[in-house]
Amino acid sequence: MRGVRNVLVLAALVLVIGGCASEATTTEGSSSTDLRPLAFGGERYFKIDWQAGQRDGTSIVSGSVENMYGASAWRVQLLVEGLDEKGRLVNQKVAWLGGDIAPFGSGYFEVPVQKLPHYRVRVFAYDWIQSADLLF
């Protein structure tokens, strides 16, 4: 009898917890699992020039990211999104830029992608390097 009671308590707990979960709202062509840039202002601080192409038979998106801010950026990640012919999101890939980007400098990237009609490239995340002189 005690085992049955434990099962009933566990079932009630699952129902209560499940009822507290919020429902994600989605729009056509997106889902609640779509990635969005983690850091706001990426379009303000970085300029991205990119193009789709091929390298050794593999589809790639390559280009450069220019740091338009007066501090070095590090841990820069890009969000490369593949879109269908109607502009709907098909897939996403987060890629590390690699290395620091000096103030007003740039960094190069090349990301292998699934061959699709369209792509979008945005800054996904970044951090600024603070000068040690400012900390003391």
In tens digits, the chain (136 residues) has pLDDT values of 555 454 444 444 333 333 332 222 223 445 557 888 877 778 899 999 999 999 999 999 999 999 999 999 999 999 999 999 999 999 999 999 988 999 999 999 999 999 999 999 999 999 999 866 554 4
CA 20, chain centre distance (Å):
28
Spell out the domains of the chain, with CATH numbers in brackets.
42-129 (2.60.40.3230)
pTM flag (> 0.95): no
Report the C-alpha gap between 82 and 79 in whole angstroms. Answer: 10
Hey, is 38 helix, strand or coil? coil
pLDDT at 124: 96
Overall residue count recorded for the chain in this entry? 136
